[in-house]
Amino acid sequence: MKKDLLKVGLAQIAPVWLQREATLEKVINYINDAAKQGVSLVAFGEALVPGYPFWIEPTGGARFNAKDQKEFHAVYMDQAVQIEQGHLDTVCAAAREGEIAVYLGIIERAKDRGGHSLYCTMVYINQQGEICSTHRKLMPTYEERLTWSQGDGHGLRVHDLGAFTVGGLNCWENWMPLPRAALYAMGEDLHVAIWPGGEHNTRDLTRHMAKEGRSFVISVCGLMRPQDFPEDTLYLNEIMKGAGDKEYFANGGSCLSAPDGQWLIEPQVGEEGLYVAEIDHARVREERQNFDPAGHYSRPDVTKLTVDRRRQSTLDLIDD
C-alpha cells in the first residue's frame, strides 16, 4: 500500500571545511536534488556544518594552552551554527519548498549556554521547514571532548513522518543502549544514525540496531579526503604532516538496513553522492511479530528507563 512507502536519501558529502555558509550552500543543493527525486527524508553526516574537528589528532590537540589549538577553536566557534541568529533559515526554506524532512549534523554555538561553548547537534527539520528538535550529543568521544561540550536529553525525541516514526542519534551515541531504548519506547521505527564518516563504525552497528529495534536504520556519513581541505586552512601543513599518508580522514560508509538486518544500501566508501531507496513500513510490522523491544517483548515491571528531557542551564531567571 502506498501509504506505507517512504523514499529516503543519504547525502554523503564533504564539508567546505570550517566555512559555514559555503557548506550550507552545498547542503541546500543536495536537499533540492533529493526533493526533485521525490525523497521525503534526507539526512547528512555528523558535525557537517562547518565540519568535524579533524585538526585535533594530527596537531597534538591535548597540549594545554597551545596557541594553535586556541586559534583553531576561535575559528571553529566563529563558523559554528547559531540557530537563534537564523543560520539555518535557508535550509528550512529549502525543506519547506521541497516538502522534504531533513536531519543535519551541525556544530552548535549554543546561545542558551552563554554562546561560547560548542555542541555536536543533530537537527531535525520537518517537511514544513520547521526545526522540531535539536539533539546535543550526550557524550563527545575521545579527542572530541577537547572542543565539544556535553549535551543533554532535551533532543531525545521522535517525529511522525508518513507511516513512520523517525528518531536519531549522533555517532557513538548509537552504541549507548539506554538512549536507543528511549527512542524505541517512543515508538521509533526509522532510526537515523549520523557519523563524521567511517565504514568501520557503520558496517556492523547499523545492522545490529536494525535487528535490535526491528526498525529501518539509516547510517549517514560525512567524507573527508586530503584534497577536501581548503588551501587556506589554518596550519594545513601541520595537519597533513601529522596525518601521515592517510588516504581518508573520513571514508564515508553511509548505508541502510532493513528491520531484519538485510542491506538495502551497503556501505558506500570514498565517494560523495546522494543514495536513495524506498522503504516499506509493512516490513517493520512483519518483524515486530516476534520481537518488539518496547512492546510485547518488554518487562517494565522488571526494568524501566527514566529520561530527563529538560534543557540544562546554569541559570534560572526570576524576574519581577
137 is known as an active-site residue: yes
Backbone phi, psi, residue 283, to 5°: -65, -35
User: Which of 92, 171, 221, 255 is labelled catalytic?
Assistant: 171
- Let me know how long the chain is: 320
User: Which of 26, 46, 144, 199 is labelled catalytic?
Assistant: 46
User: Which of 108, 137, 188, 221 is labelled catalytic?
Assistant: 137
266 is known as an active-site residue: no
Between CA 155 and CA 163 the distance in angstroms is 22
Neighbouring residues of 251: CB distance < 8 A, sequence distance ≥ 6: 197, 198, 199, 223, 269, 270
Helix boundaries (H) for the chain: 20-36, 67-79, 89-98, 177-185, 199-213, 236-243, 281-287
Closest C-alpha to 182, from 294, 303, 301? 294
- CA dist list (Å): 136 to 121, 260, 262, 308: 4, 29, 30, 13
- CA dist list (Å): 221 to 71, 113, 216, 246: 27, 28, 16, 18
Which amino acid is present at 155?
G
Location of C-alpha cell 566557534: 77
Spell out the long-range contacts of 121-125 with Cβ–Cβ below 8 A and sequence spacing 24 or more.
Answer: 121/81, 121/151, 121/155, 121/170, 122/46, 122/155, 122/168, 122/169, 122/170, 122/194, 123/83, 123/88, 124/157, 124/159, 124/166, 124/168, 125/88, 125/91, 125/92, 125/95, 125/101
Active centre residues (catalytic): 46, 137, 171
